[in-house]
Structure 1
Amino acid sequence: MQPPKQEPVDVSYDYRKDSTGEAPHADASSPSLKAAHRALWNKELPTKKLLSLNASGPDYLNATIDGLEFALASDAIATSHPGRAEEVRNDVGPDVIEDFVRHGGTIGGRMVWPLRRIHKPTVNQARGTRVTISDRIDLTLEALKLWYTDSNAETPLTDVFNDYADWFAQFGVGKEGWEGFIDFFLLQDILDGSGSVRMFANTTPTLIPTDAVEFAKYLEAQLSFVRARNQRIFDWCIDNDVPVVGGKAS
Structure 2
Amino acid sequence: MTDERDLIGYDEPRVLSEVFPDRNATDPELRKCSTCGAVLPADQLTVIKHRHARHAKGHLRIHCPDHFARADEHAVGGASGPAARPSSRAYPLDAPLIDTTYDFQTDTPPGKDPDTYSNTLHRYHRALWSKELPGGTRFDLADGRPGGYLVHESEKGQFWLSSDAVIPTFPHKARAIVARLDDGEFEAFWNLGYTIAGTMIWPGNRIGNKQTINGARGFHPRIADRFDLTVECVRRHYTGQRSPLSDVLARYADFFALFETFEGFVDHFLLQDLLDGDRVRFAMPFDEFAMPSVPQDLATYRRYMEKSLEFIHARNARIAAYARIL
Please say whether Structure 1 and Structure 2 have the same fold, judged by a TM-score greater than 0.5: yes
Q: Does 1:144 align with 2:234?
A: yes
Q: Give unpaired runs (5+ residues) of structure 1.
A: 241-250
Per-residue CA deviations over 1:114-169 (Å, capped at 9, x if unaligned) read 022334210000111000111111111111101101x2x22110000110001110
Provide the secondary structure at the position in 2 that maps to 1:74.
strand
Indicate which of 254, 257, 279 corresponds to 1:169.
Answer: 257
1:78 equivalenced with 2:164 (yes/no): no
Counterpart residue identity of residue 165, structure 1? A
Q: Which amino acid aligns with 1:42?
A: S
TM-score w.r.t. structure 1 length? 0.87
Q: Which residue of structure 2 aligns with residue 24 of structure 1?
A: 112
1:213 shift after superposition: 2.3
Instruction: Pick closer, same or farther for the CA change 1:159–1:89 going to 2, 3 Å.
Output: same
**TM-fit CA distance, 1:82:** 2.5
Q: How many angstroms apart in 1 are the aligned matches of 2:144 and 2:299?
A: 46
The 3-state SS of whatever aligns with 2:158 is strand
Task: Say which of 214, 226, 245 aligns to 1:124.
Answer: 214
TM-score, normalised on structure 2? 0.67
- Residue 106 in 1 paired to residue 192 in 2? no
Higher RCO structure (Cα 8 Å, ≥6 apart):
1
Following TM superposition, by how much is the alpha carbon of 1:56 offset from its aligned partner in structure 2, in angstroms?
4.1
Partner of 2:310: 224
**Secondary structure of the corresponding residue to residue 184 of structure 2:** helix
What's the counterpart of residue 154 of structure 1?
Answer: 242
The aligned counterpart of 1:181 is 265
Deviation at 1:34, TM superposition (A): 0.3
Quick check: 2:207–2:251 contact (8 Å CA) kept in 1?
no
Task: Answer yes or no: is the 8 Å Cα contact 2:97–2:323 preserved in 1.
Answer: no
- More moved, 100-109 vs 178-187: 100-109
Moved over 3 A (4+): none
Answer yes or no: is the 8 Å Cα contact 1:88–1:211 preserved in 2. Answer: yes
When the two chains are superposed, the root-mean-square deviation of aligned CA atoms in Å is: 1.7
Query: What count of residue pairs does the alignment treat as equivalent?
Result: 230
Q: Greater share of helix residues, 1 or 2?
A: 1
Report if aligned partners of 1:50, 1:66 keep a CA contact under 8 Å in 2: no
Following TM superposition, by how much is the alpha carbon of 1:230 offset from its aligned partner in structure 2, in angstroms? 0.4
The residue number in structure 1 matching 2:284 is: 201
Deviation at 1:47?
Answer: 1.9
Q: Which has the larger radius of gyration?
A: 2
> What is the one-letter code of the residue matched to 1:148?
Y
Secondary structure of 2:313's counterpart equals helix
State the secondary structure of the residue aligned to 1:72: strand
SS in structure 2 of the partner of residue 168 of structure 1: helix
Residues 26-55 of structure 1 deviation map (CA, whole Å, 9 limit, x = unaligned): 111000000000010111112211111111
Residue 136 of structure 2 is aligned to residue 53 of structure 1: no
- Matched AA of 1:171: F
State the partner residue of 2:325.
Answer: 239
Instruction: Give 2:3's aligned residue.
Output: none
Q: Percent identity?
A: 38
- Provide structure 2 residue ranges, at least 5 long, that are not aligned to the other structure: 1-90
| Structure 2 Cα separation of the partners of residues 73 and 56 of structure 1 | 10
Q: Which residue of 2 aligns with 1:39?
A: 127
2-side partners of 1:94 and 1:25: how far apart? 24
